[in-house]
Amino acid sequence: MSVIKDPQTETSRVAVVRRAIGSQLRVFAVAATAILLATTLCTHAARSFWVADLLANLRTQQVLGLLACLVFHVAFRSWKLLAVSVVGLLVHLPVFVSDYVYCQAASGAAHSGLDHTAQATLSLTTANVLTTNRRYADIANELLTLNSDLVAVIEISSGLHDHLSGDFSRVYPYSVFYVQDSGNFGIALYSKLPWSNAALTAFNDDSLKSVVATINHGGHRWHIIATHTLPPIGRRNYEHRNQHLKLLSDEVNRLRLGDSSPHVVVMGDLNITPWSPIFQDFAAEANLRRDTVSFGLRPTWFRFPTFAFGLVLDHVLTTGGISCLNYTVSPDVGSDHRFVTVELAP
């Protein structure tokens, strides 16, 4: 017995399925747009609430989501929702435009025709290696390949410290370190160059060590601060990180006031992105600027595949009068962070 299919019936079924899928997609797009607009507006409260600050640090992800919604609304001619997506993008736009303008100005200053080759440049790497990362040889090889003058190793464990006590220590004979295996706040500063002083210090918590060092190089005195703040998950950690940044800015200003020609460098995992107003307040209060030679969107922290694009959490910041000649982000060597390397010229 044969069954004769009616082409009109099949076409009708396909049309019904398409309409149902289209309807579901529209519902999803409406919900996504509403959520993204709400989270976008919440970023204005970043200075008061930790959740709002997290959302401010996630601006890149929100912009990508709003752009996806915008494309969808254009395709389905949902003009009102398109307008809502545009409003959300306009809220984020000033933050990225100001960073782009700054990066272009910094890049122009660094390549203004000055003969930097005649100057004694200083190269620095900040490397959050992840305490549980056992790829010691890969870490050491990457750091030796980068060949920076100074290296801040964040989350250094006793195993990595022992590994770096071999060939690495012959290249970097000067070091200050605080090893930690049970947490993520070990820290070390390694240098090829002798320093006039270097010591462990703590800002708002004795268990969170930082390193403050001073070197004389190329006729200039450089003050180097390597640090690692708490991740701002929860109100307590949020306030702790903010206080850490406040005390850090006080230390930068103290070093600046105590030196007639101050060159201060702050490097490490600050657990904050440039898109947070708290970062902008900290940079303004300490008179610091983020060193990069192009639009600084390249992430330094990843949690693929569950976290899209990543975050810019690892920084090198300097006081005025210092040019950034080169900025690189290293490949994966087993950490959730990537190493950041800059070359600076006074």
pLDDT tens digits along 245-294 = 999 999 999 998 877 677 999 999 999 999 999 999 999 999 998 887 66
The three-state secondary structure class of 202 is strand
Through-space distance between the first and last CA atoms of the chain, rounded to whole angstroms: 90
Mean pLDDT check: name the lowest of 53-57, 77-81, 295-299, 300-304: 295-299
Judge whether 221 lies within some domain.
yes
On the 0-12 / 13-18 / 19+ scale of CB atoms within 10 A, 76 is: middle
Q: What is the DSSP string of 283-300?
A: HHHHT-EE--SS-----S
Confidence tier at 25 by pLDDT (50, 70, 90): confident
Residue 16 has pLDDT above 70, yes or no: no
Examine the fold and report which residue of 66, 98, 130 is the final residue of a domain before the chain moves on.
98
Mean pLDDT of all residues in 2-22: 62
95 vs 157, residue with greater confidence: 157
Compute the distance between CA of residue 122 and CA of residue 342 in angstroms, rounded to an integer.
Answer: 8
CA 108 vs CA 78, 93, 105: distances in Å = 42, 22, 5
> For residue 105, is it within any domain?
no
Mean pLDDT of 204-224: 92
In a domain, 2, yes or no: no
Distance separating alpha carbons of residues 244 and 228, to the nearest angstrom: 9
Residues 186-212 have pLDDT tens digits of 999 999 999 999 999 999 888 899 999
One domain for residues 125 and 198: yes
What is the reported pLDDT for 141? Answer: 96
116: which 2 tokens?
């930097």
Query: What's the pLDDT score for residue 101?
Result: 63
Same domain, 276 and 309: yes
Residues 58 and 133 in one domain: no
CB 178 within 8 A of CB 200: yes
- Long-range Cβ contact pairs of 248-257 (< 8 A, separation 24 or more): 248/203, 248/210, 248/282, 248/286, 249/282, 249/285, 249/286, 249/288, 251/203, 251/212, 251/225, 252/225, 252/286, 252/287, 252/288, 252/319, 253/285, 253/286, 253/287, 255/223, 256/287, 256/319
The mean pLDDT value for 9-34 works out to: 74
Same domain, 12 and 123: no
Residues 141 and 93 in one domain: no
The CATH number of the domain holding residue 165 is 3.60.10.10
Residue 28's pLDDT is 84
Other Cβ atoms closer than 10 A to 285: 15
Q: Domain check: are 193 and 164 in the same one? A: yes
By the 8 A CB rule, do 149 and 123 touch? yes
- Assess whether 249 and 171 both reside in one domain: yes
pLDDT at 103 over 80: no
Q: Which residue has the higher pLDDT, 4 or 204?
A: 204
Q: What is the distance between the alpha carbons of residues 3 and 6, in angstroms, rounded to a whole number?
A: 10
Residue 32 burial (10 A CB sphere; 0-12, 13-18, 19+) = middle
Q: State pLDDT tens for residues 168-188.
A: 999 999 999 999 998 899 999
pLDDT digit string, tens, across residues 148-173: 999 999 999 999 999 999 899 999 99
For residue 310 the two structure tokens come to 């990543």
Pick the more confident residue, 29 or 234: 234
170 and 283 co-located in one domain: yes
Burial pattern 253-263, b for ≥16 Cβ within 10 A else e, equals bebbeeeeebb
Q: What percent of the chain has pLDDT over 70?
A: 85
Name the least confident of 6-15, 65-74, 164-173: 6-15
**Containing domain of residue 280, as a range?**
116-345
Clarify whether residues 219 and 321 are in a common domain: yes
Whether 103 maps to a domain, the answer reads no
pLDDT of residue 210: 97
Contact residues for 80 (Cβ-Cβ < 8 A; gap 6+): none
Question: Nearest Cα to 136, choosing from 112, 116, 164?
Answer: 164
Beta-carbon-side half-sphere exposure of residue 7 (alpha carbons within 13 Å): 0
How many distinct structural domains can be found in the chain? 2
Q: Is 139 a residue whose pLDDT tops 90?
A: yes
Q: Give the residue from 284, 253, 282 showing the smallest Cα distance to 270.
A: 282
Same domain assignment for residues 43 and 134: no
**For residues 94 and 187, what is the distance between their CA atoms, to the nearest angstrom?**
35
Cα–Cα distance for residue pair 243/87, rounded to 1 Å: 33
Confidence at 13, pLDDT banded by 50, 70, 90: low
Are residue 238 and residue 333 in the same domain, yes or no? Answer: yes
pLDDT confidence tier of residue 8, bands split at 50, 70 and 90: low
What pLDDT sits at residue 30? 86
Question: Which residue is listed with tokens 């006729």?
Answer: 219
Write down the pLDDT at residue 337: 95
Bridge partners for 222 per DSSP: 215, 263
